[in-house]
Amino acid sequence: MFIDEAKIKVKAGDGGNGCMAFRREKFVPRGGPSGGDGGHGGDVLMRSSERHNTLVHFRFNPEYKSDRGTHGLGSNMSGSQGEHLVLNVPVGTVVYDQLTGELIHDFAHVDEEIVIARGGRGGRGNQHFATSTHQAPREHELGRPGEEKHFRLELKLLADVGLVGYPNVGKSTLISRLSAAKPKIANYAFTTLEPNLGVVKIGDFPHERSFVIADMPGLIEGASQGLGLGIQFLRHIERTGILVHLVDVSDDSGRESTVDDFKAISAELEGFGHGLEDKPVIVVATKMDAGNPDKLKKLTAFAKRRKLPFYAISAVTGEGIEPLKYAIADAVEAHRANQPIAMEPLAATKSTRKHRSPYAPPLASAKRGV
């Protein structure tokens, strides 16, 4: 079960009460006050962990409370401190204050740890209230209450590449060919109901390259306003560096224009905001084994005008998969290095240009103007 939202209530431990006591021992007359301090309450901490990939453990157990400090004792003995409570969340979790909407923390790395609720301070015993004129104080402090807060957790998957497009354009089939992921694949819309992650590896050690690719549920027109499933999962591609936009060029899609398909999904990404419209895009024509030549021609010309990298593939037969894989890997490397991506007007779609992409540097033997 993939759970990417949760609301929780946390309560830090209360501080222990200070003690009121007097030293009473043989041969020690008027021993004076000896009440110990109460222990501090335990904090509630949150830590990012690689062992978790969803928020499902918060969905069915939304309330958490750390231990309180114990009360002070006589003979100036302080109470013990309450144990801290650590809540583990997946990397990519964003924590908001549920009441104010304030961003508390964004867990972008492994083993980050923050205090989300502080325990109460322990009360002072009567030993602290003794003065030269008030030598037998009966005053003592109660422990302070620990903080109680409500949080909203959102999980944004950490992936290098996000697959977007209309439902049933072949996103799940493509990720199954590129990686070891096994998403559900069927010939109907909205087969994918939750994001799928896959790790793509290229080459062998020590020159091995890898990147994480995310398969998003299909988008439809109006997704940015809440139609379909897309708006629920669009936040998962906010952190991706590259978008691979899949367009169905077969007649089975039921839509007339591939260019209009591309523009419609791009408009939804722009409507959602968060910088999705500014990410580098690789356009991929899918289902070439049953492709319509006229649709492919129009989409090719459109990508050339927009100066977008373009690939035509068939995930069923494997046509064009290898060139696309290397193109994505080169784009990811360029993004990681924070280097500007030099896009060629149009990339070859034939399998004869193996391991070359619009993001790859020119060959040393290439001659200009030939």
Structure tokens belonging to residue 335: 């993004």
Domains of the chain, by residue range, sit at 1-155, 161-336
Residues in Cβ contact with 240 at an 8 Å cutoff, skipping those fewer than 6 apart: 159, 160, 161, 162, 214, 279
Q: Is the dihedral of CA 203, 206, 209, 212 positive or negative?
A: positive
Domain 161-336 is of which CATH architecture?
Answer: 3-Layer(aba) Sandwich (3.40)
| pLDDT tens digit at each of 370 positions of the chain | 567 789 999 999 999 999 999 988 888 888 899 999 999 999 999 999 988 878 888 988 999 999 999 999 999 999 999 999 999 998 889 999 999 999 999 998 899 999 999 999 999 999 999 998 898 999 999 999 999 999 999 888 778 888 888 888 888 888 888 887 665 555 545 555 567 778 888 877 677 888 888 887 766 555 555 555 556 667 777 778 889 999 988 887 667 788 888 888 888 888 877 778 888 899 999 988 888 889 999 999 999 999 999 999 988 888 899 999 999 988 888 888 875 444 443 333 333 333 344 434 443 333 333 3
Closest by alpha carbon to 219, among 210, 211, 228?
Answer: 228
User: What is the distance between the alpha carbons of residues 28 and 79, in angstroms, rounded to a whole number?
Assistant: 25
User: What is the distance between the alpha carbons of residues 56 and 302, in angstroms, rounded to a whole number?
Assistant: 43
For domain 1-155, the question of CATH label 1.10.3720.10 is answered with no
Q: Around Cβ 157, how many Cβ atoms within 10 Å?
A: 24
Distances (CA, A) of 259 to 245, 247, 303, 360: 12, 9, 9, 27
Supply the pTM of this predicted model.
Answer: 0.68
- Do residues 179 and 212 touch, judged by C-beta distance below 8 A? no
